[in-house]
Structure 1
Amino acid sequence: MESERRQFYRIDHPVALEFTIIPEPDNLDSLQPSHFKVSPYFMLQSQLQELDQEATTKLNQLGRSMPILTSYLQLMSKKIDLIAQTLSANQLMGDEIKTEIVNLSEGGLSFHNQRTIELNSLMAVKLVFPEGEMGLLLYARVQRCTPASDGAEIGIEFLKMPESCRMQLARLIIETQAKERKQYLND
């Protein structure tokens, strides 16, 4: 986790965090853990992000020869994004969600926990970002566990993260940086 701090920009951000320790034999069989019950809307933004990456490449190629069609397709993409955001906003958060401030980067996060967790423990992690209506399911490994008077500070490293999840996190971090910078300049 120490080297991870040097590789990625870190932000403090509110998130609803749920995790479960998983045995090594489970050892990352799929790209995303299936240890949580989630609504169909939970992964909608992530799946749309993957499709958007593919579409962007094709739109760039198409834009050279058919700029009007490209413009129209970009508008349709924005329309789909708005519909998806509206659908997932109502279903993603649920009624009883508790957020906490975590220290987040593209490579992992650190958070406070009521109890210590053994180093190198493998875990399935569910993250819900309330302001962006975004949810992620990831694997992680415990890299740091520092006892505190009221529990422990846990540092985890994300494992086998799908590119679409990494891009969503990167976008969230960049947007947060921009907001912080704007706030700093306004103060």
Structure 2
Amino acid sequence: MEPSCNKIPERRSFLRIADQVILKYRKVKDLQALPGTQRPPADISSFTIKARFFAINQKLRPARAKLEQQSRELAAYLKAIDEKLDLLADLAFETEHDLIDMPTRQVDLSAGGTSFHAEKPLELGTLLELWLLLLPSHAGIVTYANVVYCKRNRDPEDERYPYKIGVEFRNMREEDMDLIICHVLKKEADERRLAKKNARKEGQ
């Protein structure tokens, strides 16, 4: 099930987490030279389908909440429909994309941008087309990003990725920004619950 939240914080770009995601990217030409520059890259349907589901669910959330209050049976039915759609989306994704088999990358993620470790350096200002797969929801986002810093790690944890790259998202869809924020909020909540659980165990 994709991450969800009832209210998106206004200062959302300041929310940031360390996370494990699947990520790939490629260099592209100047954004102004690309067709449809007022929009992110063209939809890759099976890759971004869960992100599209999330956007639809956010729009329907108020109406759905009212319906679920009226009937437990209807609430259970709608939940089952969501689960069916998720299964179909997962099947379509696994059939068409090889990203699911790629190793995860450690990133610092926010709605404004991300940083990640890389094999080779990238020049400042380089424009990237970036594919980002959030876990465990498998919600995929395709967007543009500009390189804002590139530095060599003195003692990299993984010698295959000696460089750390920081990027800012460009022309990202509003609903994809909301998806990232909800993902961040959910991960923060999960980490707090785990910390409390471990604290209780240590206190026993």
Aligned residues: 175
Counterpart contact for 1:22–1:124, Cα < 8 Å: yes
Q: 1:32 aligns with which of 17, 40, 46?
A: 40
Q: Report the CA distance shift for 1:49/1:121 in structure 2 as closer, same or farther (over 3 A).
A: same
Q: 1:14 aligns with which of 13, 20, 31?
A: 20
Q: Where do 1:39-78 residues align within 5 Å?
A: 40-59=45-64, 63=66, 68=70, 72=74, 75=76, 77-78=78-79
Q: 2:181 aligns with which of 167, 170, 178?
A: 170
Q: CA deviation at 1:136?
A: 0.7
Q: Identity of counterpart residues, as a percentage?
A: 23
Q: CA deviation at 1:122?
A: 1.2
Q: In structure 1, what is the equivalent of residue 80 of structure 2?
A: 79
Letter of the aligned partner of 1:79 in structure 2?
A
Q: In structure 2, what is the equivalent of residue 155 of structure 1?
A: 166
Query: Which stretches of structure 1, 4 residues or more, deviate above 6 A after TM superposition?
Result: none
Q: How far apart, CA to CA, are the structure 2 residues paired with 1:129 and 1:165?
A: 11
After superposition, the C-alpha distances for 1:122-167 in whole angstroms (9 at most, x for unaligned) are 1110011231121110111111111235531100011121121111
Counterpart contact for 1:45–1:84, Cα < 8 Å: no
Counterpart contact for 1:88–1:133, Cα < 8 Å: no
Q: Report the CA distance shift for 1:158/1:50 in structure 2 as closer, same or farther (over 3 A).
A: same
Q: Secondary structure at the match of 1:43?
A: helix
Q: Report the CA distance shift for 1:144/1:184 in structure 2 as closer, same or farther (over 3 A).
A: same
Q: Which moved further from structure 2: 46-55 or 104-113?
A: 46-55
TM-score where L is the length of structure 1: 0.79
Letter of the aligned partner of 1:31 in structure 2?
R
Q: How far apart, CA to CA, are the structure 2 residues paired with 1:126 and 1:120?
A: 18
TM-score where L is the length of structure 2: 0.73
Where do 5+ consecutive residues of structure 1 fail to align? Answer: 1-5
Q: CA deviation at 1:23?
A: 0.7
Counterpart contact for 2:15–2:181, Cα < 8 Å: no
Q: Which moved further from structure 2: 42-51 or 100-109?
A: 42-51
Q: CA deviation at 1:57?
A: 4.7
Q: CA deviation at 1:9?
A: 2.0
After superposition, the C-alpha distances for 1:19-74 in whole angstroms (9 at most, x for unaligned) are 1111112276252214x9x5x422211212222233235557xx49xx648x83x5
Q: Secondary structure at the match of 2:136?
A: helix
Letter of the aligned partner of 1:168 in structure 2?
L
Q: Report the CA distance shift for 1:143/1:54 in structure 2 as closer, same or farther (over 3 A).
A: same
Q: In structure 2, what is the equivalent of residue 23 of structure 1?
A: 29
Q: CA deviation at 1:17?
A: 0.6
Where do 5+ consecutive residues of structure 2 fail to align? Answer: 1-11, 199-204
Q: CA deviation at 1:7?
A: 4.7
